[in-house]
C-alpha cells in the first residue's frame, strides 16, 4: 500500500512516507533504513520512547512468564514474544473503555503487548499464568494470555483459533447500530494468526462484515509469523498474502512490516481512522516474528528470527534518541518489576475446589443437577 | 387459538417491543418469508443472515458480549452440529471470564421428526443440548408454553436454547395467550402474512401481555397414581393420549411435561415417582447416552428403594438418521403404540 508524506503528530500521525508492503526482516538496512529514520521523525519523540518502553516491558513480562513456567509454577505458557512492534502500537491507539461506544478487542492468545500498552499491570498476567484466585481474567481457570478485561472491552480470549473473527461481527453490529443513530461507537478489533486464517470463521468475518449496505466497523488483523505450531505457512497457503482474500469482498487490505513499530503505528492509525469514518471493515496483515516457538509445548526456547525490539533499540540508538546504557537500565527495571510481581503472586491464594460451581449461571444460580 | 408458530411470533414481538430485543435473525428469518415455519413473520427486528450457521451463532455471541439482546435461529437443528464448539463457548463464557461476561442470548431451532423431514430435517438435539453446560434448555409442547418460555428465555441473562418441536408448529393451543383475540380468523388476519406479494404488508399486533413460564418448572399434564411418564415436546401429546386411553383399561398414568430440560424439575419427578413407584422416560433423541438415561440414573440412585419396577427409557433408535418412508420414520422414533407397550411392560413388573 503506497502512502504519502503527512504531518508529524502524536495520535493522528498522518501518513508514512514509505511504501508499506514490506515483509518481516527484509528492510533493516540500506535505503529502507534511511526511509525509516525519516518516518521516525514524524512521530512525537515521547511517543516513540513510550513505545520502546512498553515493548521492553511486554517482553520482560513474557520472559518472566516463561521462567514461571520453567520453574514449575505454571502448567503452560503461550504468549507474544516477537509481536511487540504490532501489539504495542495497537494498544496505544485503541479507544479504551466499556461498551459499544468504545473499541472491542477480540484478541488471540498473544495479546500481552496490546494489554501492557493499554495499562495492564504485569501482576495481572502473572496471576493468570499461575492460576491464582486473584486472576481477574479467569479466576485461575484458563491458560496464560487468555485475558478478559470488560472495563476495556477485552472479551474472553479462547483457545479455539479464529472464532474471535466471527464473534467480532456481533460486537461490530452493535456498534454499527449506534453509529447509524449518530451515537458514539467504536471499532471491533480482531487479532489472530496466519495459520488460523484457514478456518471458516475467518471467511465468515469477511462475508458478514462486507454485506452490501450493512458493512461493519471490523478491524481484521492477522499476525503472520509464518507458522502454525510446527507447520509452515508456505506449505499450506497458496495465496501470496492472507490479506489478499479481503480483496474479493471489496475490503481494504494492507500488508505491513509488523516488526517495525513505527510502520505498524501509522498503519493501525490510518486503518482505524478509515473504519471510524466509513464504518467499513479493513483487513491488514502484519508480518511478525515468533521468537519462543508456539508455546511451552514446543519448549518455549529462544528461536531464530528477527527481534523487533533489538531492531528498534538499534534504530533509536543510531538516531541518538537513546543510549545503550538507557536500554540496559530499561530491561533491568522491568526484569525487577516482573520478578517482584511473581514473588507476590506466589504467596497469593488459589481457587477453592468449591469454586468450580461459581459463575456457570449469572449470580451463581445453581447449575448442579444434584441440587435441583 | 394461536398455533405454536404464531405464539412464538407474538412472544418475539413482545420481546422486541417490551424487552429490548434488538435482533431476530437467521436464515430466511426476515422478510419476505419470516422463517420456514413463519415464526418470525412481520417482526421489525427480524433479518436474513448469510447461510452460515457458525456465523449465526458467533454473531449472536458477539451481540451478547456487546450487551444487546438477540434471538438467533438455526433453521433446523440438523444444521447446528458444525457450531458445537461455539455453543460450548457461549455456555462457558461466564465461567471462563470468572463471572465478568454473561451471555444473554436465545438460540432457537426446530427439532425432531414428525413432518416427513427425512435424514436432515428430523434430527433431535435434546441430548446434545443437555451436554452444553452454561446453557439453559427449554422445549414447549403448547403454544401458551411456547409464548411463556420464550419470554422467560429472552429475560434470562444466560444463554437459552429454545428447542421448537417442529411437528407441533401448526398445532393450536387450548389456552389463550394474554391479549390474543378470541377468534382464530381475527388473529390470522392480524399477524399472518398474505400469500403472494408481501412487500406492503405489515402486521397488526394484538396487545399481548406479560406471561412467563419459569425455566426449570415442569407441568403435570395428566394426573395418575400407577406410573409416571416424563417427557417433553411433541411426545407430551402422544403420552397424554396414551394415558387417556389406558385410563379406560384401568391404568392411571401421570404425565409430566418437563418443559425445561436444564435446569429440570427434579422435585416434580421425585414426588411423582414416590407416589407411583414406576417411571418411564420418553423422548425421540437417539437412545445411547440419551437425556432420559440421566434422569433414569438419578431415579435409580435417589429413589431405588421406593421403586416397584425398573425405570425405563423409551427413545429413538440408535440410527444414523430418520428415513423418509413412513415405515422407516415410525420404526425409528417412539409413537403411541410404543409408549403404550412400554407402560404396560413397566406395569407388568412385579417387585
CATH of the domain at B176: 3.40.50.970
Q: Where are the beta strands (DSSP E) in B166-311?
A: 219-222, 227-231, 253-257, 260-262, 279-286
* Residue A227, φ and ψ in degrees, nearest 5: -140, 145
Strand partners, A162: none
pLDDT at A38: 86
pLDDT at B324 over 90: yes
Q: Do B64 and A177 touch (CB under 8 A)?
A: no
Alpha carbon distance A193, A145 (integer Å) = 14
pLDDT at A14: 55
Q: What is the dihedral of CA A122, A128, A134, A137, to 10 degrees?
A: 100
Nearest-by-CA chain B residue for A177: B22
Does any domain span residue B200? no
Q: Do A99 and B66 touch (CB under 8 A)?
A: yes
Interval B39-77: pLDDT, tens: 999 999 999 999 999 999 999 999 999 999 999 999 999
Least confident piece of the model among A26-40, A117-131, A231-245, B22-36: A26-40
Q: Do A163 and B62 touch (CB under 8 A)?
A: no
pLDDT > 90 fraction of chain A, expressed in percent and rounded: 90
Q: Do A208 and B99 touch (CB under 8 A)?
A: no
Residue range of the domain that includes B90: 4-191
Does any domain span residue B262? yes
**Contact between residue B179 and residue B208 where contact means Cβ atoms under 8 Å apart:** yes
Q: Which of B191, B207, B232 is the endpoint of a domain?
A: B191
Q: Do B134 and A155 touch (CB under 8 A)?
A: no
Alpha carbon distance B2, B170 (integer Å) = 9
pLDDT at A19 over 80: no
**Contact between residue A80 and residue A63 where contact means Cβ atoms under 8 Å apart:** no
Alpha carbon distance A228, A234 (integer Å) = 11
The nearest CA of chain A is from the CA of B174 a distance in Å of 30
For residues B156 and B8, state if they share a domain. yes
Cell of A360: 456457570
Chain B interface test: which of A102, A141, A142, A156 (most B C-beta within 10 Å)? A156
Mean pLDDT, range B275-285, rounded to an integer = 98
Interval A119-141: pLDDT, tens: 999 999 999 999 999 999 999 99
Does any domain span residue B8? yes
Of A211, A197, A288, A224, whose CA–CA distance to A250 is shortest?
A211
Q: Which residues of A touch B52 (CB under 8 A)?
A: 204, 207-208
Q: Which residues of A touch B70 (CB under 8 A)?
A: 170
Q: Do B93 and A156 touch (CB under 8 A)?
A: yes
Q: Which of B171, B191, B211 is the endpoint of a domain?
A: B191
For residues B256 and B301, state if they share a domain. yes
For residues B230 and B289, state if they share a domain. yes
Quote the Cα angle for B328-B334-B335, to 5°.
90
Q: Which residues of B touch A364 (CB under 8 A)?
A: 99
Does any domain span residue B197? no
pLDDT at B351: 87
Q: Which residues of B touch A357 (CB under 8 A)?
A: none
Question: Which candidate from B23, B55, B265 shows the least CB-CB separation from A166?
Answer: B55
Residues 6+ apart with CB under 8 A from A14: A5, A6, A7, A8, A42, A266
Split at pLDDT 50, 70, 90, the class of B109 is: very high
pLDDT at A41 over 80: yes
For residues B249 and B335, state if they share a domain. yes
pLDDT at A32: 43
User: What's the pTM value of the predicted model, to 2 decimals?
Assistant: 0.95
Q: What is the dihedral of CA A163, B94, B158, A367, to 10 degrees?
A: 120
What integer best gives the mean pLDDT of chain A? 92
For residues B109 and B155, state if they share a domain. yes
Cell of A53: 518502553
Consecutive H or E run containing B250: none
Q: Do B101 and A160 touch (CB under 8 A)?
A: no
Q: Do A372 and B22 touch (CB under 8 A)?
A: no
Chain A interface test: which of B55, B70, B94 (most A C-beta within 10 Å)? B55
Q: Do A171 and B66 touch (CB under 8 A)?
A: yes
Mean pLDDT, range A252-264, rounded to an integer = 98
pLDDT at A270: 98
Chain A interface test: which of B20, B45, B98, B265 (most A C-beta within 10 Å)? B98
pLDDT at A23: 37
Q: Which residues of B touch A361 (CB under 8 A)?
A: 94, 134, 136, 158
The nearest CA of chain B is from the CA of A317 a distance in Å of 42
Interval B228-276: pLDDT, tens: 999 999 999 999 999 999 999 999 999 999 999 999 999 999 999 999 9
Cell of B35: 422463517
Mean pLDDT, range B21-29, rounded to an integer = 98
Question: Which candidate from A156, A175, A207 shows the least CB-CB separation from B97?
Answer: A156
Q: Which of B172, B191, B210 is the endpoint of a domain?
A: B191
The domain that holds B306 is classified in CATH as: 3.40.50.920
Q: Give the distance from CA B267 to its chain's centroid.
A: 20
Chain B interface test: which of A361, A363, A368 (most B C-beta within 10 Å)? A361
For residues B177 and B125, state if they share a domain. yes
* Residue A126, φ and ψ in degrees, nearest 5: -70, -40
Does any domain span residue B208? no
Mean pLDDT, range A21-44, rounded to an integer = 57
Question: Which candidate from B63, B158, B294 shows the least CB-CB separation from A362?
Answer: B158
Interval A327-359: pLDDT, tens: 999 999 999 999 999 999 999 999 999 999 999
Mean pLDDT, range B18-43, rounded to an integer = 97
pLDDT at A28: 38
The nearest CA of chain A is from the CA of B189 a distance in Å of 32
Nearest-by-CA chain A residue for B156: A362
Split at pLDDT 50, 70, 90, the class of A35 is: very low
B121 is catalytic: yes
Mean pLDDT, range A47-62, rounded to an integer = 98
Strand partners, A106: A190
pLDDT > 70 fraction of chain B, expressed in percent and rounded: 100
For residues B15 and B108, state if they share a domain. yes
Of B17, B16, B37, B35, whose CA–CA distance to B26 is shortest?
B35
Question: Which candidate from B62, B101, B263 shows the least CB-CB separation from A170?
Answer: B62
pLDDT at B287: 98
Does any domain span residue B43? yes
How many Å is the Cα radius of gyration of chain B?
A: 20
Tell me whether residue A95 is exposed, middle or buried, using C-beta atoms within 10 angstroms of its C-beta: 0 to 12, 13 to 18, 19 or more.
Answer: middle
Mean pLDDT, range B84-94, rounded to an integer = 98
* Active-site hit among B13, B121, B123, B235: B121
Quote the Cα angle for A223-A226-A229, to 5°.
95
Least confident piece of the model among A25-34, A257-266, B48-57, B195-204: A25-34
Mean pLDDT, range A307-335, rounded to an integer = 97
Alpha carbon distance B345, B342 (integer Å) = 5
pLDDT at A17 over 50: no
The nearest CA of chain A is from the CA of B78 a distance in Å of 19
pLDDT at B94: 98
**Contact between residue B76 and residue B115 where contact means Cβ atoms under 8 Å apart:** no
Query: For B203, how many CA atoms within 13 A lie in the half-sphere containing its CB?
Result: 22
Domains of chain A and any CATH numbers: 30-349 (3.40.50.970)
Q: Do B22 and A174 touch (CB under 8 A)?
A: yes
The nearest CA of chain A is from the CA of B328 a distance in Å of 35
Question: Which candidate from B55, B101, B133 shows the least CB-CB separation from A148?
Answer: B101
Cell of A114: 496490546
Count the helix, strand and coil residues of chain B and give each as a percent rounded to the nearest 5: 40, 20, 45
Helix H, strand E, coil C: the string for chain A is CCCCCCCCECCCCCCCCCCCCCCCCCCCCHHHHHHHHHHHCCECHHHHHHHHHHHHHHHHHHHHHHHHHHCCCCCCCCCCCCCHHHHHHHHHHCCCCCCCCCCEEECCCCCHHHHHHHCCCHHHHHHHHCCCCCCCCCCCCCCCCCCCEHHHCECCCCCCCCHHHHHHHHHHHHHHHHHHCCCCCCCEEECCECHHHHCHHHHHHHHHHCCCCCCCCEEEEEEECCEECCEEHHHCCCCCCCCHHHHCCCCEEEEEECCCHHHHHHHHHHHHHHHHHHCCCEEEEEECCCCCCCCHHHCCCCCCCCCHHHHHHHHHHHCCCCCHHHHHHHHHHHHHHHHHHHHHHHCCCCCCHHHHHCCCCHHHCCCCHHHC
**How is residue B158 annotated by DSSP?**
S
Instruction: Tell whether omega for the bond before B32 is within 30 degrees of 0, i.e. cis.
Output: yes
pLDDT at A129: 98
pLDDT at A29 over 50: no
Alpha carbon distance A210, A288 (integer Å) = 27
Nearest-by-CA chain A residue for B85: A160
Does any domain span residue B322? yes
Q: Do A166 and B64 touch (CB under 8 A)?
A: no
Alpha carbon distance B253, A315 (integer Å) = 84
Number of domains in chain B: 2
Q: Do A163 and B89 touch (CB under 8 A)?
A: yes
How many Å is the Cα radius of gyration of chain A?
A: 20
Q: Do B59 and A173 touch (CB under 8 A)?
A: yes
What integer best gives the mean pLDDT of chain B? 97
Q: Do A163 and B58 touch (CB under 8 A)?
A: yes
Alpha carbon distance B281, B272 (integer Å) = 13
For residues B61 and B8, state if they share a domain. yes
Does any domain span residue B199? no
For residues B178 and B223, state if they share a domain. no
The nearest CA of chain B is from the CA of A370 a distance in Å of 9
For residues B269 and B126, state if they share a domain. no
| A-B contacts (CB, under 8 Å) | 147
Mean pLDDT, range A295-307, rounded to an integer = 95
For residues B163 and B237, state if they share a domain. no
The nearest CA of chain A is from the CA of B261 a distance in Å of 11
Alpha carbon distance A88, A56 (integer Å) = 10
For residues B186 and B227, state if they share a domain. no
The nearest CA of chain A is from the CA of B216 a distance in Å of 9
pLDDT at A16: 57
Amino acid at each position: 500500500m503506497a502512502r504519502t508524506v503527512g504531518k508529524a503528530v502524536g495520535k493522528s500521525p498522518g501518513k508514512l512516507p514509505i511504501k508499506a508492503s514490506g515483509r518481516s526482516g527484509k528492510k533493516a538496512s540500506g535505503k529502507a533504513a534511511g526511509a525509516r529514520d525519516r518516518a521516525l521523525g514524524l512521530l512525537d519523540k515521547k511517543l516513540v520512547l513510550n513505545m520502546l518502553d512498553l515493548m521492553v516491558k511486554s517482553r520482560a513480562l513474557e520472559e518472566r512468564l516463561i521462567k514461571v513456567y520453567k520453574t514449575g509454577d505454571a502448567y503452560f505458557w503461550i504468549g507474544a514474544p516477537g509481536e511487540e512492534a504490532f501489539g504495542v502500537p495497537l494498544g496505544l491507539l485503541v479507544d479504551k473503555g466499556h461498551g459499544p461506544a468504545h473499541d472491542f478487542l477480540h484478541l488471540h492468545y498473544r495479546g500481552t503487548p496490546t494489554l501492557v500498552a493499554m495499562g495492564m499491570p504485569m501482576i495481572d498476567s502473572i496471576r493468570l499464568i499461575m492460576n491464582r484466585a486473584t486472576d481477574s481474567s479467569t479466576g485461575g481457570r484458563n491458560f496464560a494470555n487468555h485475558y478478559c478485561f470488560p472495563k476495556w472491552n477485552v472479551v474472553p480470549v479462547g483457545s479455539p483459533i479464529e472464532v474471535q473473527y466471527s464473534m467480532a461481527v456481533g460486537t461490530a453490529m452493535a456498534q454499527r447500530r449506534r453509529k447509524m443513530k449518530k451515537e458514539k461507537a467504536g471499532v471491533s478489533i480482531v487479532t489472530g494468526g496466519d495459520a488460523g486464517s484457514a478456518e471458516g470463521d475467518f471467511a465468515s468475518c469477511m462475508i458478514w462484515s462486507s454485506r452490501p449496505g450493512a458493512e461493519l466497523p471490523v478491524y481484521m488483523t492477522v499476525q503472520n509469523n509464518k507458522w502454525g505450531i510446527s507447520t509452515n505457512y508456505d506449505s499450506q497457503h497458496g495465496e501470496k498474502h492472507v490479506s489478499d482474500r479481503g480483496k474479493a469482498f471489496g475490503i481494504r487490505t494492507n500488508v505491513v512490516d509488523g516488526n517495525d513499530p513505527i510502520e505498524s503505528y501509522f498503519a493501525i492509525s490510518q486503518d482505524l481512522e478509515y473504519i471510524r469514518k466509513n464504518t467499513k471493515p479493513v483487513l491488514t496483515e502484519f508480518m511478525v516474528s515468533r521468537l519462543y516457538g508456539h508455546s511451552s509445548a514446543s519448549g518455549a526456547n529462544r528461536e531464530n528470527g528477527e527481534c523487533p525490539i533489538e531492531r528498534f533499540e538499534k534504530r533509536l540508538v543510531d538516531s541518538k534518541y537513546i543510549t545503550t546504557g538507557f536500554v540496559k537500565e530499561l530491561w533491568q527495571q522491568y526484569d525487577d518489576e516482573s520478578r517482584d510481581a511473581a514473588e507476590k503472586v506466589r504467596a497469593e491464594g488459589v481457587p477453592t475446589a468449591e469454586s468450580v460451581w461459581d459463575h456457570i449461571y449469572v449470580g451463581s444460580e445453581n447449575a448442579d443437577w444434584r441440587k435441583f | 387459538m394461536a398455533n405454536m408458530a404464531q405464539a412464538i411470533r407474538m412472544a418475539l414481538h413482545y420481546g422486541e417491543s417490551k424487552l429490548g430485543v434488538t435482533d431476530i435473525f437467521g436464515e430466511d428469518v426476515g422478510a419476505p418469508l419470516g422463517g420456514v415455519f413463519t415464526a418470525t413473520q412481520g417482526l421489525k427486528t427480524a433479518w436474513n443472515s448469510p447461510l452460515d450457521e457458525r456465523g449465526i451463532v458467533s454473531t449472536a455471541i458477539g451481540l451478547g458480549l456487546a450487551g444487546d439482546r438477540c434471538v438467533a435461529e438455526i433453521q433446523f437443528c440438523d444444521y447446528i452440529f458444525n457450531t458445537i464448539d461455539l455453543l460450548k463457548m457461549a455456555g462457558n463464557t461466564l465461567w471462563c471470564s470468572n463471572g465478568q461476561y454473561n451471555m444473554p442470548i436465545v438460540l432457537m431451532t426446530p427439532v425432531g421428526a414428525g413432518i416427513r423431514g427425512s435424514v436432515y430435517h428430523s434430527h433431535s438435539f435434546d441430548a446434545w443440548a443437555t451436554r452444553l453446560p452454561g446453557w439453559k434448555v427449554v422445549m414447549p409442547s403448547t403454544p401458551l408454553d411456547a409464548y411463556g418460555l420464550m419470554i422467560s428465555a429472552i429475560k434470562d441473562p444466560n444463554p437459552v436454547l429454545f428447542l421448537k418441536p417442529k411437528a407441533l408448529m401448526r398445532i393450536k393451543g387450548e389456552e389463550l395467550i394474554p391479549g390474543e383475540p378470541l377468534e382464530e380468523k381475527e388473529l390470522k388476519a392480524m399477524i399472518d402474512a398474505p400469500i403472494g406479494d408481501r412487500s406492503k404488508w405489515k402486521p397488526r399486533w394484538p396487545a399481548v401481555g406479560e406471561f412467563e413460564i419459569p425455566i426449570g418448572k415442569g407441568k403435570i399434564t395428566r394426573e395418575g397414581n400407577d406410573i409416571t411418564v416424563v417427557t417433553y415436546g411433541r411426545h407430551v401429546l402422544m403420552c397424554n393420549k396414551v394415558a387417556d386411553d389406558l385410563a379406560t383399561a384401568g391404568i392411571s398414568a401421570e404425565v409430566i411435561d418437563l418443559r425445561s430440560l436444564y435446569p429440570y424439575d427434579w422435585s416434580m419427578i421425585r414426588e411423582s415417582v414416590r407416589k407411583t413407584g414406576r417411571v418411564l422416560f420418553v423422548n425421540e433423541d437417539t437412545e445411547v447416552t440419551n437425556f432420559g438415561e440421566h434422569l433414569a440414573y438419578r431415579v435409580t440412585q435417589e429413589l431405588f428403594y421406593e421403586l416397584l419396577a425398573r425405570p425405563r427409557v423409551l427413545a429413538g433408535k440408535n440410527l444414523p438418521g430418520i428415513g423418509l418412508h413412513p415405515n422407516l420414520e415410525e420404526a425409528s422414533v417412539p409413537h403411541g403404540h410404543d409408549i403404550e407397550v412400554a407402560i404396560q411392560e413397566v406395569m407388568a413388573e412385579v417387585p
